[in-house]
Structure 1
Amino acid sequence: MAERWLGRTRFVGRDRELARVVEALARPPALVLIEGEAGIGKSRLVREAVAATDRDGARTLLAVCPPFLEAFTLGPVVDAVREAAPDVAALGLTAVAGALRPLFPEWSQDLPPAPEPPADAGVARHQLVRALAELLDRAGVEVLVVEDVHWADATTLDFLVYVATRRPRPLTLVLTYRPEEVAADSPLLRLTSRPAQDVCQVRATLGGLPVSDAAGLASSMLGGDRVSAGFAAFLHDRTEGVPLALEECVRLLRDRDDLTCRDGEWARRGLDEIAVPPTIRDSVTERVARLGADARRVLLAAAVLTDPVDERTLAAVTGLPVGRWPAALRASLGSGLLGETTARPGGGLPAGRTGIAFRHVLAARAVYDRAAAHERAAAHRRAGEALETAVPPPVGRLAHHFREAGLTRRWFAYARQAALLALSSGDHRTAAGLLHALITEPTLPPTEVAALAGQVSSHAFTGDPRAGEIARTLRAVVDSGRLGRRDRAAVRAQLGRMLLTVGEYTEAAAVLEQAIPDLADHGYPVASAMTVLGLPLHDSWPVATHLRWLERAEAVASSSEIGPVDRFELRLARMTALFELGEESGWELAGRIDADESSPQAAVLTARFHLNAGHAAMKWGRYADARRYLAAAVDVAGRHGYQRLRDLALVTAGHLDWLTGAWDGLDERLAAWQEVDGEPLIRMDALLVGTQLRVARGGPDEEARKVLAAVREESVRRGTTDLPAEAAGALARVAAEPSADHTAEPVGRLVRKGVWLWAGEVLPEHLAALTSAGRRSEAEELVAAFEDGARGRDAPVLAATLASCRALLAEGRGRPAAAADAWEAAASAWRALPRPYDAAKAGERRARCLLRDGRRTAALAALRAAHREFTSLGARYDADRVRRALDAQGAGAEGPWRPGRRGYGDRLSPRELEVVRLVATGLTNREIAKALSRSPKTVATQLNSAMRKHGVSSRTALAVRVTQAGYDAGAEPGPSPA
């Protein structure tokens, strides 16, 4: 595998600059100036341009200026000429070339005699410059490339000015340099500011690559496989698209084994941070070392602040005397590491304002890491004190600075304020991070931990590894013996919730039961704990036990004084538990819950209400209700900025699209969710649906089995109720051989608990495996139990599932006629939901039963109908299977295979077309995302898909293909030939 990761980086993102440089080199004489910071790709652009203009008889000389503290006179050009090793004796040099003897002592016997040394030093330098220019002329050099000219000595710069401006034969020059390191009095500025009229001059200023090109560069290093949108955004955020930094980050992640390849796509393993790569660290260290102590203090202050700030704040954090500040600021800005940057929301300045900050995150981290610990702590203290005067005070940033400064009490005060502020605004993710830091702080007294414990929302820690740390801390606090009865019970109740979050259900139930007696005099806390016990998570409790807890919780809530928001939350939790238990009363309760967006706390509960009701309606088979609820969840969460809830609603809507056959563009939408960092429920759901969709189109393979097995294992570990059952059923469908092993555990849980609502996606697959293995009596007992459990429930999915189960039993009894009738009933039930894919599969099973019953005409008609249904969906694998069955009967399908409106193969989908048309206009991914109301991740995924289908690796090449194909006119052709 490692060999795949060491590929040469592809040249990406510089098509326009390359075209300009190539055009200039094709029209000599030319002066090409390529400027940009270290690692931005200047040298690579030069190499690509020279290779593209290599002509017979042309001679290019490459010189590089080394970063010597004291540069040698004409050293870069002399070294380049010496390496080229021309036959000096055959060049026919004039007497002026004798001035070169001091530079080329090894050629003394072939050079003319040295001229008499002139009295004027300027004349001597002019002789030397003329002699070197003549040497290049006679050696046939047409293009002189000099890299890193900012490090050139004065005589080399004079030489470059001379050969660029002499008459009648100027030399074509290609110069690369870092503009921030060019001195104000450098002769280089005479070249850049006063171009000769008869010389073609091109100046290419290189900036960071956009996200899409950063993804392409990383992909080329990883064997050409795609990189996930999340990984590309992670890299770009930390490198600002600087190619060298990108390369070094990928190498570092590879060396640390922090990369993984899933479904032919590279992604991170979920790390939030990355160490500074050694190359970047050394480059930054070298630049910082040239600065004075005051300028280094400015850099450290900027690294501590991280966000753009005004000069006054930055000066305060440096701690420098007023008289030394201006010079220190000038020097630090002159290093090129700092610059004016637009502030982001939540930073130290109002959004949109410009302030001073590091240009790259990695550079800031390198400066921060090399500072001594006491220097960092002092800078953090000054930062906290400077920001305390802001109105309103940025409590989150103040908490960070005082914690890093080692001022624990001040950190605790601000962190608590920040957590409460985040909770009140509905930002549970931020609150979760702050509360985790506070609760797990070893020096915090148990009484203060108890005061904070009730603020922790277990929903915010779903799938978060920090939940385990909080649970351990809360357990230690409970066991410390230093809490009163009331505080101990409150902490114990929160411990129970966190144990549920990490999947320790049996212990969680025991802890909650133990907490309830001491919570009895508090209405909301005890009702909340009882409602949690009503959720069907405890593996060994039957439905009746959960319902008893819910009844007790309702009784407590009815007899207690509980505020409106807390009452709303209790009703929502009760409704969700009833849905999960398959109880009709959940829908009656849902109808009595009034949406409330009067406060952030109520608004987030309203979004969760719509999300939970939509998810339940999908599982019950009430698809119209599901769409209505999920649309409301997206709307409420979007308007209030609850991104996680909005994402959950969107991915659930994608799951609903899979079930109802709305497959148009579904794979593109799911791709954006499959690499969402820190959101395992979203990622698992997207992977589950996306893999099933891929199997329907292309058939099962080993990769699909691995993904489905991983989803099943992770969803079991995280305590979800429906995902493990559906993943097990999907895994059974793609298994190489039918086996009840894949489905035995979730079906056994259905039987133990009596919660048959989860049966729809797993029970038919289990029955098929049982009947295939001849375990008919076991299968019949299972269906009888299911029929009894589903009775009286208005859940259309249960009725359709039961119809399929009856058909499977009829097949197992060897009664094809009865089985055909049963499959017809099942197909009708699935079609009514609607579940067209399941209906088509039931229709295919009916046709095969008809064939076994000898009713060939009816069977062929049923097979053709199934073929049409599969084809309409874009389920090519299934359609091909049915076509083969028809061919075996000597009766072909009606017409050739057509991908249908839902499958696009190598053609661009309508959503991809929208993106590539905007790419052709020059918009960035972020601008396209805004124009199309999509996320930048989705746009990046669709753009990568379009480039892959057209066999190109850059936005520019794609734009050319788009223009050639006439996409701007609304065409929808396939990809052009590579």
Structure 2
Amino acid sequence: MTPPRTSSPVLVGRGDELAALLRAVAGQPSVALVVGEAGVGKSRLVRELLRRPEVAPLRVLTGFCQPLREPFPYGAVLDALRTLHVRGPLSPVTGVLRPLLPELADRLPEPPRRPEDPRHERHHLFRAVRELLSAAGPVLLVVEDLHWADDGCRHLLRFLMSDPPPNLTVLVTYRREDAPGGMALGTAYRPPAGVTGVVVELTPLDRAQVGDLTAAILGVDAVSAEFAARLHERTAGIPFVVEEMLRALPEADWRLLDDVEVPALLRDAMAERLDRLPTTGRRIAHAAAVLGVPASEDLLARVGAVEPERARTALTHALHSGVLHEHGEMRYGFRHALAQQAVYDTLTGPERQRLHERALDALEDVVPRPVMQLAEHSRRAGRPADWLRNGEAAADRALEVGDPSTATHLYRRLLDEATLQPSDVDRLAVKLGQVARGGIDQHDPRTTLERLLDDRRLSRPARGEVRLNLGFLLIRQFESVVQARLQIELAVEELTDRPDLAMRGRAVLGQPFIGATPLAEHLRWMRVVDSFIEGCDDPAVRYSLLANELGSRLSIGDRSVLRELDRLPASADDVETRRHLARANCNVADACMLVGHFDLARDFLDKGLRLTVGAGVPFTASTGQSTQIHLDWYSGNWGSLVPRAGRLLEEYRELLPVASEISLVLGCLAVARGDWDEAERHLAESGVRSVENSITPVALSGFAALTRLWLERGDPARACAEADRGLDLLRRKGVWAWAGELAPSAVDAYCASGRVEDATKLVEELSAGIADRDAPLAVVALKVCRALLAVAREEEAVFPLQEARRAADELGLAYYSAVLSERIALCGLASGPEAAVAALGEVADRFDALGASRDAARCRHLVRGAGVATPSRRGRRGYGNALSPREQDVARLLAQGHTNREIAEVLFLSPRTVEQHVARVLRKLGVTSRTELVT
């Protein structure tokens, strides 16, 4: 009988997925992501793609990420580039790759002068890689197992995939469950406009497909339904496990599945194949399983204790048996991580320990030291001293190269060791807190830090620093702000011997935009910090405190702060100071945005985000991105705001300062579109549900948006209730500089409900509250409030409304300027309807241009109700089979499941008109029903 094949000669059950990849390759520039669990067939699908004639014209470059990677950025991509053939001259920037790609040195220009700023150096490298790929003709760059990539490799790939050259296809494979946060690139990714993108999700095979795969592997036309069902049951439909199961069957009776033990199916299969190897071959395989990454013949022999003269024969046996595979450049390992784990599991505990000891000894002399591998082998060899030394070195190295997630993971694992000395616990606990404070990993570091507070080995000063860092983590988590303040206050008391650290805690306690604590309490802390800064000679400490203090004072409208912003240098040579400066600039930008200094906000935000590059402070970068989203809301830059904000929310959903601000913007956009359910859902996450644990100015704006929402929905009583809740928080806080959105909404709601006296009182409070404050947005709000009061009292309102609009225009408040223009036009309906109708039509166009479809529909409804003949629509553009703007609004609401009546209410249309729009939308989109459209 012919023995079964080791794999299927044909691809089974992946026709649609292969077709999707072929379409992506044909549509350069393009990006393809292949996602699936271990053994599901990602690599097989890629191999099948590479065999297709459609791919032949492309230069294929392949890189592999390894599970025990060294903290060396960009490794997989650089490995892929080593065989690249470039065409034509290259710019000087590509010279930065010459030391990294010696195989291409003779084709690359001399390296340019190394820039002083590390972020420029990294940008040069990214540009160089992109240009190299651009000069190589049509290229398919394949990076496998991206879930094991270092952060640098992810950043480089994200750079390429965000703006790929026109000749490039990037294809990556990864396991979602093993990728950081479930995202292969570390952050959410969607292809930009003009780039073909596809995500291919591979799932296990069903029963029929397992039968087809089995028949193909065994070389028969078909297998019985019982055989396929049994095999599917025992393998869960994972193709690799099916292959391994069939490979392990006895040659004479390969159909007798019950002869193979379960549930340790793959381990048994590999054990059977190992048994066929000579002793030296098994030793080589065991060494490969312990090393975990492809290794050289010499290293495998040393770890496996195989004499050098017998190593080649042993390795050949392992390769011919299919236990090991060659991975290029004379490196040998397993075809799949599952196979490696299966062989590893065949070893007894003493055997594993002895092999890890040999691996540790063999790798000690390697230069540069592979600290990640040394750390893992030290831990598994049971050498606590070596594990501590190598693990800490690996974590420190990861942090140096901008990989905080790996550093956090290693520090946490080290701190789980019960044998650590008190000094080791102190040092590692402090390091973990420091890296976690600047990262975005929230819950795992929090658990470890909370446990450490009960560890008796922790000294009092270290305990204070651990508690301080825990407080810094808690303050950015939902429902944890109150607890965070308590922890920071306790830390300040414990850090009597570390006044610099204690002062950092006081600076955070002085930040006024956290929770519902009255401003007076924050000011008490701020005065102490200001006094300390004046006498501080340490630049790093001073900038770390200024990073909080400048933003805190500026956010409450302190007029003196703008004169002090030049105390921040443009950059710094050391990374730690640059981190503080990045945070300072981003905090100042956020504060400027809150009070209405929008141009300044953009300037400082640009500086801050540039300083975050390569500084290893993803949390600071995330807050800067949310500030940018908020700025775009104010300026009316709404074109791509919803998808951009949605991606950031998906990425930073666990970070209170970021997620609440993005939820606010998405809620405001939904109100402007009339998406009531979506608006309520997002605004509920802006802090309005738990003001004690909120970012206060965000929550205040959330109450403002809810007030507008209920006014638009015709429920002024509910609108007033939301305004009352927001004003209660504002009055408790005492920062009237943050009333820029809430005050006009509240006055509008009060006037609509006949509560003119309450509106008048609010205007007086706002006027007094900002009298000595530098708060341009609140000044505009005060003008708007006075104009709205004039309308309610039936006084002359056009002039105050025009004055308010001029003020809004000066700040660049595109949406609020349009809202005020609508109010001005409404005032003119009584005296000069023709001019007012024309003005309303223009305002409707402005709303449409922004994307505020509900507001535009309201203006056009007012035009129709004015009883004035409007100009003929003849000459306006026809849309043919494309959706008109109004049909796009209808399609969006249809896709959200709204009825015709609900759509009519949102867009101020008659049900009959909506019915006609719906019919055209379905026809133009080529669907036959609402259900099909939603799908």
State whether residues 281 and 366 of structure 1, in contact with CA within 8 Å, keep that contact through their aligned partners in structure 2.
Answer: no
Aligned match for 2:273, one of 287, 291, 297: 291
Superposed CA deviations along residues 39-96 of structure 1, whole A, max 9, x for unmatched, are 9469999xx99xxxxxxxxxxxxxxxxxxxxxxxxxxxxxxxxxxxxxxxxxxxxxxx
Please report how far the alpha carbon of residue 542 of structure 1 lies from its aligned counterpart in structure 2 after TM superposition.
2.3
Aligned partner of 1:399: which letter? A
Residue 761 of structure 2 is aligned to residue 785 of structure 1: no
Residue 572 of structure 2 is aligned to residue 592 of structure 1: no
Pairwise mapping of residues 41-120 of structure 1 onto structure 2 (< 5 A)?
Answer: none
Aligned partner of 1:829: which letter? A
Residue 818 of structure 2 is aligned to residue 836 of structure 1: no
Correspondence for 2:608: 633
1:18 and 1:662 mapped to 2: Cα distance?
33
Please report how far the alpha carbon of residue 539 of structure 1 lies from its aligned counterpart in structure 2 after TM superposition.
4.0
Aligned match for 1:555, one of 531, 534, 547: 531
Correspondence for 2:17: 12
Aligned match for 2:202, one of 246, 253, 274: 246
Correspondence for 1:916: none
Question: Size of the alignment, in residue pairs?
Answer: 674
Pairwise mapping of residues 697-716 of structure 1 onto structure 2 (< 5 A)?
Answer: 698-712=673-687
State whether residues 205 and 238 of structure 2, in contact with CA within 8 Å, keep that contact through their aligned partners in structure 1.
Answer: no
Residue 736 of structure 2 is aligned to residue 756 of structure 1: yes
State whether residues 664 and 685 of structure 2, in contact with CA within 8 Å, keep that contact through their aligned partners in structure 1.
Answer: no
The alignment's TM-score, normalised by the length of structure 2, stands at 0.61
Please report how far the alpha carbon of residue 836 of structure 1 lies from its aligned counterpart in structure 2 after TM superposition.
0.7
2:793 and 2:586 mapped to 1: Cα distance?
44
CA 1:894–1:857 in 2, change beyond 3 Å: closer, same or farther?
Answer: closer
Please report how far the alpha carbon of residue 835 of structure 1 lies from its aligned counterpart in structure 2 after TM superposition.
1.2
Aligned match for 1:622, one of 574, 597, 605: 597
Superposed CA deviations along residues 204-254 of structure 1, whole A, max 9, x for unmatched, are xx99999999999999xxxxxxx99989989xxxxxx99998213999xxx
Superposed CA deviations along residues 876-899 of structure 1, whole A, max 9, x for unmatched, are 332222112112224477786999
Correspondence for 1:739: 719
1:898 and 1:367 mapped to 2: Cα distance?
72
1:242 and 1:426 mapped to 2: Cα distance?
29
2:458 and 2:819 mapped to 1: Cα distance?
61
Pairwise mapping of residues 118-517 of structure 1 onto structure 2 (< 5 A)?
Answer: 246-248=202-204, 279-280=238-239, 282-283=241-242, 285-286=244-245, 288-289=270-271, 291-292=273-274, 302=288, 305-318=291-304, 320-322=306-308, 325-330=311-316, 332-333=318-319, 355-356=331-332, 380-423=356-399, 427-439=403-415, 441-455=417-431, 456-457=433-434, 459-460=437-438, 464-477=442-455, 480=456, 486-502=461-477, 504-516=480-492
**Structure 2 residue runs without a partner (length 5+):** 1-12, 26-39, 54-141, 147-160, 162-168, 177-182, 191-196, 208-234, 248-269, 886-922, 927-935
Aligned match for 1:870, one of 847, 853, 865: 847
CA 1:511–1:778 in 2, change beyond 3 Å: closer, same or farther?
Answer: same
Correspondence for 1:888: 865
Correspondence for 1:847: 825
Residue 582 of structure 2 is aligned to residue 607 of structure 1: yes
State whether residues 610 and 633 of structure 1, in contact with CA within 8 Å, keep that contact through their aligned partners in structure 2.
Answer: yes
Superposed CA deviations along residues 595-640 of structure 1, whole A, max 9, x for unmatched, are 3320111222222222222222222222222222222233333365
Query: What SS does structure 2 have at the residue aligned with 1:583?
Result: coil
1:882 and 1:400 mapped to 2: Cα distance?
67
State whether residues 850 and 858 of structure 1, in contact with CA within 8 Å, keep that contact through their aligned partners in structure 2.
Answer: yes
1:420 and 1:229 mapped to 2: Cα distance?
22
2:350 and 2:719 mapped to 1: Cα distance?
63
* Aligned-residue RMSD, C-alpha: 5.1
2:317 and 2:688 mapped to 1: Cα distance?
56
1:331 and 1:893 mapped to 2: Cα distance?
88
Superposed CA deviations along residues 137-196 of structure 1, whole A, max 9, x for unmatched, are xxxxxxxxxxxxxxxxxxxxxxxxxxxxxxxxxxxxxxxxxxxxxxxxxxxxxxxxxxxx
Query: What SS does structure 1 have at the residue aligned with 2:18?
Result: coil
Tell me which moved more, 733-742 or 406-415: 733-742
1:906 and 1:444 mapped to 2: Cα distance?
68
Please report how far the alpha carbon of residue 859 of structure 1 lies from its aligned counterpart in structure 2 after TM superposition.
3.1
Aligned match for 2:802, one of 816, 820, 824: 824
The alignment's TM-score, normalised by the length of structure 1, stands at 0.58
Query: What SS does structure 2 have at the residue aligned with 1:14?
Result: helix
Correspondence for 2:7: none
Aligned match for 1:576, one of 551, 554, 576: 551
1:358 and 1:721 mapped to 2: Cα distance?
54
Query: What SS does structure 1 have at the residue aligned with 2:675?
Result: coil
State whether residues 188 and 650 of structure 2, in contact with CA within 8 Å, keep that contact through their aligned partners in structure 1.
Answer: no
Aligned partner of 2:844: which letter? H
Tell me which moved more, 831-840 or 755-764: 755-764
Residue 634 of structure 2 is aligned to residue 675 of structure 1: no
State whether residues 284 and 366 of structure 1, in contact with CA within 8 Å, keep that contact through their aligned partners in structure 2.
Answer: no
CA 1:883–1:673 in 2, change beyond 3 Å: closer, same or farther?
Answer: same
Superposed CA deviations along residues 635-655 of structure 1, whole A, max 9, x for unmatched, are 333365756544543453243
Please report how far the alpha carbon of residue 833 of structure 1 lies from its aligned counterpart in structure 2 after TM superposition.
0.9
Aligned partner of 1:564: which letter? P
Residue 755 of structure 2 is aligned to residue 799 of structure 1: no
Pairwise mapping of residues 680-699 of structure 1 onto structure 2 (< 5 A)?
Answer: 680=655, 685-686=661-662, 688-690=664-666, 692-693=668-669, 696=672, 698-699=673-674
State whether residues 876 and 899 of structure 1, in contact with CA within 8 Å, keep that contact through their aligned partners in structure 2.
Answer: no
Pairwise mapping of residues 769-784 of structure 1 onto structure 2 (< 5 A)?
Answer: 769-784=749-764
**Structure 1 residue runs without a partner (length 5+):** 1-7, 21-35, 50-205, 220-226, 235-240, 252-275, 343-352, 908-948, 953-978
Aligned partner of 1:460: which letter? G
Aligned partner of 1:541: which letter? T
1:551 and 1:242 mapped to 2: Cα distance?
55
Query: What SS does structure 1 have at the residue aligned with 2:16?
Result: coil
CA 1:11–1:594 in 2, change beyond 3 Å: closer, same or farther?
Answer: same
State whether residues 770 and 778 of structure 1, in contact with CA within 8 Å, keep that contact through their aligned partners in structure 2.
Answer: yes
Aligned partner of 1:610: which letter? N
Residue 505 of structure 2 is aligned to residue 524 of structure 1: no
Superposed CA deviations along residues 747-775 of structure 1, whole A, max 9, x for unmatched, are 43321121234333444334444444444
1:905 and 1:597 mapped to 2: Cα distance?
53
State whether residues 684 and 715 of structure 1, in contact with CA within 8 Å, keep that contact through their aligned partners in structure 2.
Answer: no
1:769 and 1:381 mapped to 2: Cα distance?
74
Please report how far the alpha carbon of residue 593 of structure 1 lies from its aligned counterpart in structure 2 after TM superposition.
1.5
Please report how far the alpha carbon of residue 494 of structure 1 lies from its aligned counterpart in structure 2 after TM superposition.
4.0
State whether residues 404 and 616 of structure 2, in contact with CA within 8 Å, keep that contact through their aligned partners in structure 1.
Answer: no
1:218 and 1:312 mapped to 2: Cα distance?
31
CA 1:322–1:664 in 2, change beyond 3 Å: closer, same or farther?
Answer: same
Correspondence for 2:638: 663
Please report how far the alpha carbon of residue 465 of structure 1 lies from its aligned counterpart in structure 2 after TM superposition.
1.1
Aligned partner of 2:784: which letter? S
Please report how far the alpha carbon of residue 727 of structure 1 lies from its aligned counterpart in structure 2 after TM superposition.
3.9
2:815 and 2:861 mapped to 1: Cα distance?
19
